[in-house]
């Protein structure tokens, strides 16, 4: 009994210590709870960064695609403007490559669309090296109608885009066609009249008596005669023979009339009146038909009236 009384206070203190130890242990975080918490925080942070990088990549990709599409559209517009008014088109480098009137359209070593002329070179696409990777192709669509096909595309895998266009070259010389064979990644063309072409044009001009002696090239009356030639004379065999005869005798007549200014004035006045008649010939025809019909009706009505008077 005495021993129990002696040991009781000791066991009591040990129990209090154990209880205090257990109470203080449940008040903090265990290792597992800490690891779970850190893992959840890591997932949230990783998700946030992933969303940020995805949005950033999407924005950059969209910006690059928009830049590429804008560059291709602007370059295509400039290319069509240049080629539409060309006088000659060649898919291969001509023999006289040093001609100062010769222009070139191609993709240079840096992947940029470039226009090369004797006055200097022009870059038609963006200078941004990150989007500079283009491919250019030219080909023939319709030789008879001078239809040229153009394709400009981006070879960048991040921004694939392609644009095709068909244009009609308006100033190709009569009887000429595209030179060389397509498709080609480079095209050579001219837009200015060379000295040889000017000399040839002057020879052709001298063959037309009306344009070389009587009227200026921009005179509206000259357009009347041209329309009469193309719309009426060219449609008949007799008219075509008359046109050939006119162009054959025009040079000699031009030389003869240049020495007689008085005759030039008389013939010019006659040609002005003839142009006025040709311009208003439909009206003159209608007026003539109307006058003739009115005269016939008047004669018929007069004869009928005369018969009625005789019967009375």
Does residue 161 sit in the same domain as residue 209?
no
* Domain membership flag for residue 54: no
User: Are 227 and 275 members of one domain?
Assistant: yes
pLDDT category at 1 given cuts 50, 70, 90 is very low
Enclosing domain of residue 149: 62-190
Q: Do the domain assignments include residue 134? A: yes
Match 């837009």 to its residue by tokens. 191
140, 109: one domain = yes
Which pLDDT belongs to residue 86?
A: 87
Q: Please tell me the predicted confidence (pLDDT) of residue 150.
A: 92
The answer to whether residue 75 sits within a structural domain is yes
Cα gap 186→93, rounded to integer Å:
9
Together in a domain, 186 and 66: yes
Ramachandran angles phi, psi of 186, nearest 5°: -135, 140
Same domain, 206 and 280: yes
| Domain co-membership, 158 together with 261 | no
What's this model's pTM, rounded to 2 decimal places?
Answer: 0.48
Provide the pLDDT for residue 255.
74
| Count of domains observed in the chain | 2
Residue 266, domain member (yes or no):
yes
pLDDT of residue 138: 92
Instruction: Specify whether 221 is located in the same domain as 266.
Output: yes
Q: Are residues 186 and 214 in the same domain?
A: no
Provide mean pLDDT across the span 251-269.
76
pLDDT in tens, 108-147: 888 888 898 888 888 888 766 566 688 899 988 888 888 8
Q: Is the pLDDT of residue 233 over 50?
A: yes
User: Which residues lie across from 90 on neighbouring strands?
Assistant: 179, 188
Residue-wise pLDDT for 278-305, tens only, equals 777 656 555 555 665 676 667 667 667 6
- On whether both 84 and 109 belong to a single domain, the answer is yes
What is the percent of the chain where pLDDT is above 70?
Answer: 67
pLDDT class of 151 with cuts at 50, 70, 90: very high
Residue 83 resides in a domain: yes
Same structural domain, 213 and 124: no
């Amino acid at each position: 009994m005495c021993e129990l009384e002696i040991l009781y206070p000791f066991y009591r203190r040990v129990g209090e210590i154990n209880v205090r130890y257990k109470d203080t242990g449940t008040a903090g975080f265990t290792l597992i709870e800490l690891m779970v918490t850190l893992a959840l925080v890591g997932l949230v942070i990783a998700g946030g960064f992933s969303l940020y990088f995805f949005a950033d990549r999407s924005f950059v990709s969209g910006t690059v695609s928009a830049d590429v599409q804008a560059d291709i559209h602007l370059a295509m517009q400039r290319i069509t403007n240049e080629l539409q008014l060309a006088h000659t088109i060649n898919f291969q480098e001509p023999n006289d490559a040093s001609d100062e009137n010769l222009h070139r359209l191609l993709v240079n070593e840096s992947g940029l669309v470039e226009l090369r002329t004797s006055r200097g070179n022009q870059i038609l696409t963006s200078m941004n090296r990150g989007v500079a990777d283009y491919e250019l192709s030219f080909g023939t669509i319709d030789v008879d109608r001078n239809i040229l096909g153009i394709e400009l595309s981006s070879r960048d895998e991040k921004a694939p885009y392609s644009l095709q266009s068909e244009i009609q070259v308006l100033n190709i010389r009569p009887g000429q066609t595209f030179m060389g064979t397509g498709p080609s990644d480079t095209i050579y063309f001219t837009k200015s009249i060379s000295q040889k072409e000017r000399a040839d044009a002057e020879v052709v001009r001298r063959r037309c008596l009306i344009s070389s002696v009587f009227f200026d090239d921009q005179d509206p009356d000259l357009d009347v005669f041209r329309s009469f030639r193309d719309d009426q004379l060219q449609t008949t065999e007799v008219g075509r023979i008359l046109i050939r005869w006119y162009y054959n005798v025009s040079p000699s007549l031009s030389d003869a009339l240049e020495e007689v200014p008085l005759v030039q004035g008389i013939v010019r006045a006659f040609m002005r009146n003839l142009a006025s008649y040709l311009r208003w010939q439909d009206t003159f025809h209608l007026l003539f038909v109307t006058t003739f019909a009115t005269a016939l009706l008047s004669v018929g009505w007069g004869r009928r009236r005369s018969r009625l008077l005789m019967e009375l």
